[in-house]
Amino acid sequence: PLAVCVTGAHRHDSVVFEELIEALPPIGGKPGRRRRWPDTLHADKAYDIDRCRAFLKQRGIIAQIARKGIERNDRLGRHRWVVERTHAWFAAMGKLRIRFERRIDLHLALLWLA
């Protein structure tokens, strides 16, 4: 993962959206100075709210967010498999399915190792 944020159970994903974007490391790959923000961000329907879209627009990030109420979008589906694969990797790690550690630093270490 590029960035990790741990919250309590039953909190909506969009609550920590800004915190996750701010935690992204500078992006390399192209010659020259490293970019602070990605060009595009792919997200699922949980982030289809005006606050998230406005936050990305302020930083010049193109929002590729699935729309609520639309069952399928083949254009976003091309990239969605990466997210689903990563979720499957996390689910395969038994200690990440349910948080048993009381200390947050131990849980974060397991997330980064996964």
Q: How confident is the model at residue 98 (pLDDT cuts 50, 70, 90)?
A: low
pLDDT of residue 50: 92
28-86 confidence digits (pLDDT tens): 777 777 778 888 888 878 888 999 999 999 999 999 887 877 666 556 566 677 777 77
Q: How far apart are CA 32 and CA 90, in angstroms?
A: 34
Model-level pTM?
0.68
Q: Where are the domains of the chain?
A: 13-113
What's the Cα-to-Cα distance from 113 to each of 31, 59, 90, 109, rounded to whole Å? 29, 30, 10, 6
pLDDT of residue 97: 64
pLDDT of residue 12: 82
